């Protein structure tokens, strides 16, 4: 029996070190890590700039709490907000926490409580975020849940129009549903949401916890759509492996989160902020993002050529291979062959290499995938 709760279905691999895209287990076996710790390691394992940022800040100051002012948080917020319509940030430690902050801000600002979310969405495991999540398997056994959320089918404009009334505070969505199957929002739904939000004064919350920070080839995935979030949430890739989350909002929301309304002890501590600033200094560089897009195109072309019987979905380096059957056996076979993968829903293999992945590593991964998928 384990000393741990068995809430994770852990694979029997003990990873002990990593560099770039490569991780090594305790037996010395190497793997290509195309999970990036679930879209977290934007710059790969042990990137020298991140190692240096951690070492330098660790010798200087780790933690102060939010009792004191923080020019470092101000700078990180300004970097995230640059060239966007978002004006203020709140820092926390995870995606679920960022979404909790978003839900609280939207409810307090509108003084309404109904938030529309979508089937197959994923917003996290805390009570608010879990209630927002449109997947029964995640909510099962934990009821009663928050009454706030009304969950409707994704990419169904008629279903959205049918549910909108004067009680709705906000609409909350992922531009690409990462956990739920790499499902991209349709241009029709994006347009309908944009129209409805501006007509009715409904707030738009975009959960970019997985899609943000260059993962889809732009700083944020919403930039590839007509969507204009009032609130955006970030985590995963923001810290490149160090835990940090953020909620950003427009200036119209500024007064709602006054002193004492919300908070977290660890949020935006100097160590996390210095690492996140280092990640952004790399990822928000236009050349870096151009590279991500070039690698994405290369990866998609290779996959299409090598897997003629499969559909490839997604954007940037958040890609999916749609299968007709359960993909768990393929994930296991790939692991044996030295390629770490994660599924998205039951039928999609999710591909989330570090944004620093090389074309050679993509070639190696595609060869392993072709070997497995074309012989099954």
Ligand X SMILES: *Cc1c(COP(=O)(O)O)cnc(C)c1O
Least gap, CB of 333 to ligand X (angstroms): 25
Per DSSP, the three-state class of 216 is coil
Least gap, CB of 4 to ligand X (angstroms): 17
Choosing from 114, 235, 307, 317, the residue that interacts with ligand X (CB under 6 A) is 235
Least gap, CB of 375 to ligand X (angstroms): 31
Judged by beta carbon, residue 242 or residue 333, the one nearer ligand X is 242
- For residue 242, CA distances in Å to 46, 53, 117, 245, 355 come to 11, 11, 29, 10, 16
- 105 phi-psi bin (left φ>0, alpha ψ -120 to 50, beta other): alpha
Q: Which span (70-78, 202-210, 267-275, 299-307) binds ligand X, by CB under 6 A?
A: 202-210
Q: Which residue is nearest to ligand X (CB)?
A: 95
Least gap, CB of 140 to ligand X (angstroms): 18
Site string for ligand X, 94-123 (x = CB under 6 A): xxx--x----------------------xx
Judged by beta carbon, residue 119 or residue 361, the one nearer ligand X is 119
Q: Does 35 bind ligand X (CB under 6 A)?
A: no
Choosing from 21, 183, 210, 224, the residue that interacts with ligand X (CB under 6 A) is 210
Q: Does 179 bind ligand X (CB under 6 A)?
A: yes
User: Which distant-in-sequence residues (6+ apart) come within 8 Å of 111 by Cβ?
Assistant: none
Euclidean distance between CA atoms 67 and 14, whole angstroms: 39
Q: Give helix 270-283 / helix 48-60 axis angle, nearest 10°.
A: 150
How does 194-203 read in b/e, with b if 16+ C-beta sit within 10 Å? eebbeeeebb
Annotated binding residues: 95-96, 122, 125, 207-210, 264-265
Q: What angle do CA 266, 138, 184 make, to 5 degrees?
A: 90
Annotated binding residues for pyridoxal 5'-phosphate: 95-96, 122, 207-210, 265
**Could you say which DSSP state residue 227 is in?**
-
Task: Provide the binding-site residues for ligand X, judged by CB under 6 A.
Answer: 94-96, 99, 122-124, 174, 178-179, 207, 209-210, 235-236
């Amino acid at each position: 029996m384990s000393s741990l709760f068995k809430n994770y279905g852990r694979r029997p691999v003990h990873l002990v070190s990593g560099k770039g895209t490569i991780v090594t287990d305790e037996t010395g076996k190497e793997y290509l890590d195309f999970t990036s710790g679930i879209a977290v390691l934007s710059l790969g394992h042990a990137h020298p700039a991140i190692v240096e940022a951690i070492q330098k800040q660790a010798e200087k100051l780790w933690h102060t709490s939010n009792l004191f002012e923080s020019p470092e948080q101000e700078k990180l917020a300004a970097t995230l907000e640059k060239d966007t319509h978002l004006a203020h940030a709140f820092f926390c430690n995870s995606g679920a926490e960022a979404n909790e902050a978003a839900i609280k801000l939207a409810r307090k600002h509108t003084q309404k409580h109904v938030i529309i979310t979508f089937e197959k969405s994923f917003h996290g495991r805390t009570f608010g975020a879990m209630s927002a999540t449109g997947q029964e398997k995640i909510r099962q056994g934990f009821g009663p849940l928050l009454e706030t959320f009304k969950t409707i089918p994704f990419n169904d404009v008629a279903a959205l129009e049918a549910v909108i009334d004067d009680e709705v505070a906000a609409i909350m969505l992922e531009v690409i549903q990462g956990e739920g199957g790499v499902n991209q929002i349709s241009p029709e739904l994006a347009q309908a949401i944009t129209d409805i939000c501006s007509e009715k004064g409904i707030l738009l919350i975009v959960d970019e916890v997985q899609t943000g920070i260059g993962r889809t080839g732009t700083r944020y995935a919403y930039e590839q759509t007509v969507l204009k979030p009032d609130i955006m949430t970030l985590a995963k890739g923001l810290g490149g492996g160090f835990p940090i989350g953020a909620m950003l909002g427009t200036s119209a929301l500024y007064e709602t989160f006054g002193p004492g309304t919300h908070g977290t002890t660890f949020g935006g501590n100097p160590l996390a902020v210095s690492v996140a600033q280092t990640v952004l200094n790399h990822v928000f560089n236009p050349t870096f993002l151009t590279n991500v897009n070039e690698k994405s195109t290369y990866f998609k072309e290779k996959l299409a050529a090598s897997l003629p019987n499969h559909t490839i979905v997604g954007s940037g380096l958040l890609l999916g291979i749609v299968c007709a059957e359960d993909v768990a056996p393929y994930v296991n076979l790939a692991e044996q062959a030295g390629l770490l993968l994660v599924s998205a829903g039951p039928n999609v293999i999710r591909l989330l290499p570090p944004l620093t992945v090389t074309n050679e590593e993509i070639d190696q991964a595609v060869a392993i995938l072709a070997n497995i998928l074309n012989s099954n």
